Structure 1
Amino acid sequence: MSYNALYSDLSGYYDLMCADIDYQSQSSSAHRLNQIFGNGGKQHLDLACGTGPHIAHLLQDGFTCRGLDINQPMLDIAKQRCPDAEFAQGNMCAFETEHPFDLITCFLYSIHYSGDLDNLKSCIKSAYQALTHGGVFYFNVVAKSQIDNALFAKHSVQQDQDLFHFSSAWHYIGHGEKQTLNVRIDKTTDQQTLTWEDEHPMVALNFDELKTLLAPYFDVHVFEHNYDSITPWDHSSGNAIFVCVKREQNDNER
């Protein structure tokens, strides 16, 4: 067995790593909550869009979509998947747009890729400035105090002659604003296994801390992490969907 660090470019593995994700349900959840809380507009921006699977579904729902990601190879795949959407390479923590959006999404806990609280604040402000009045910022998040370091998400995928085993897990040391997402890939071909492992630095915070960061910009609604129903957060579970509705211009933007 051979061990290596994961390549910084995960585009070749990304869709396999996410093969067990129900993109349809996640996209439908964003669409449904946007219908309830949003302003009725159809201009959509997906932050950390990856290879564009969520955009593919929201295009079918009648949205005009744009994707932003820091990884150009991911965007190349996304453009092939969604030729009717526009894509741009950029940092979700510091972006500007020429035209405002009615819905901004950030799926798959990617809001944590902000890395630290200062960058997260910048991401929130960038999203606020990019939204129309009454627009929605939709994302999911994990609470640092609820992370179980022993819990792993695992799945396997067969591709041609290769068998892939994927696992990922949150890790939080118990204090501070840093956590990691630990990823492992095992690729077995003809009984030979190669293994890649990597740690992705993530920002760590609890929901009350997050609501405080969002409060100057948004009316915040928090829901249970269930894409098939709309259930208010029970104040105990460690995963949640945040629906943030842009308010009138405030002192942060004047």
Structure 2
Amino acid sequence: MRSRIIYEHLTLGTIPSNALYTDLSSYYDLMCADIDYQAQSSYVRRLHQLFGNSGKRHLDLACGTGPHIRHFLDFGYQSSGLDLNQPMLDLAKVRCPEADFILHNMCNFTVEQPLDLITCFLYSIHYSDGIENLKQCIAHAHAALADGGMLCFNSVNRNKIDNRSFVRHSAMHDESEFVFSSGWKYSGQGEQQFLTLSIEKHTDLEKQMWNDEHPMVAVNYDELSALLEPYFEVHIFEHDYEKILPWDGQSGNAFFVCVKR
């Protein structure tokens, strides 16, 4: 994974991979302050009631600092989280002390007891960089689920990525203004796309900038469905956390509900 950080007025150089999630992990929740974690979690709970096996054993892949897990615990699930970055898990444990957390790669994880629900929010399924890694992630999720268990995740269709589009928001923290922006980049060919992330921190005396670029797996929905269907009954929905609507076949963001065969 390639990652670069620039400190304006301070230094210029490179840092290890996963910089945003380790060196800058304390900023992660601030970066995601505009995300409605409760709406996302409630949406999946409704889907699980409709399509799931009524069990309560839950694992959140790429759980980050655990905000989704907090809601699932409050819903009565026996929730746990998995992530590749220990600083994120340390923050998650503070937020969810009753949950178990696993430091591991989501492409080759195993569990001691079968699960009823596996979630992977915020397009994190794409961190399975490369089709082969994505295949492994799907296979290991299938193996970890109990009969009738459900895998849920959101995804972006590589054929619909607009390289000019990005989202941006700002927040105040410790008397500093932070500006966050992110966007997808895809060259138009191959199985790799990039998530570009930037953070600006403004104070009265200086400006700091962090810029990260993360390679992620690029798939279209026909390819993704073909990878899933040997293992799961696949349902695709519009990326709308307020309404459960079938995917219209056109939009570039969708939510996948996969029930173990």
Does the TM-score normalized on the shorter chain lie above 0.5?
yes
Q: Are positions 1:172 and 2:193 aligned together?
A: no
Letter in 1 for 2:113: H
> Alignment partner of 1:125: what SS?
helix
Q: Are positions 1:185 and 2:199 aligned together?
A: yes
Q: Is the 8 A contact 1:79 1:87 kept in 2?
A: yes
Q: 1:13 maps to which residue? A: 27
Q: Is the 8 A contact 1:5 1:196 kept in 2?
A: no
Q: 1:53-132 alignment to 2 at 5 Å? A: 53-132=67-146
Shift in Å, 1:13: 1.3
* % identical aligned pairs: 60
Q: 1:1-254 alignment to 2 at 5 Å? A: 1-2=8-9, 7=19, 9=22, 10-247=24-261
My pick for the range that moved more, 10-19 or 226-235, is 10-19
Q: Is the 8 A contact 1:136 1:246 kept in 2?
A: yes
Q: 2:5 maps to which residue? A: none
> Alignment partner of 1:31: what SS?
helix
Shift in Å, 1:162: 1.1
**Aligned mates of 2:112, 2:38 — CA distance in 1:** 29
**Aligned mates of 2:220, 2:49 — CA distance in 1:** 27
CA RMSD, Structure 1 to Structure 2 (Å): 1.1
Q: Is the 8 A contact 1:140 1:240 kept in 2?
A: yes
Post-superposition CA distance 1:171-224 (Å, at most 9, x none): 000001000000010001114111110101100000110000001100000000
Q: Is the 8 A contact 1:4 1:196 kept in 2?
A: no
**Aligned mates of 2:49, 2:214 — CA distance in 1:** 34
**Aligned mates of 2:97, 2:35 — CA distance in 1:** 22
Q: TM-score, normalised by structure 1?
A: 0.95
Q: TM-score, normalised by structure 2?
A: 0.93
Q: Is the 8 A contact 1:151 1:169 kept in 2?
A: yes
**Aligned mates of 2:91, 2:117 — CA distance in 1:** 23
Unaligned 5+ segments in structure 1 are: 248-254
> Alignment partner of 1:68: what SS?
strand
**Aligned mates of 2:31, 2:220 — CA distance in 1:** 27
**Aligned mates of 2:86, 2:174 — CA distance in 1:** 26
Shift in Å, 1:84: 1.0
**Aligned mates of 2:27, 2:185 — CA distance in 1:** 22
Letter in 2 for 1:132: A
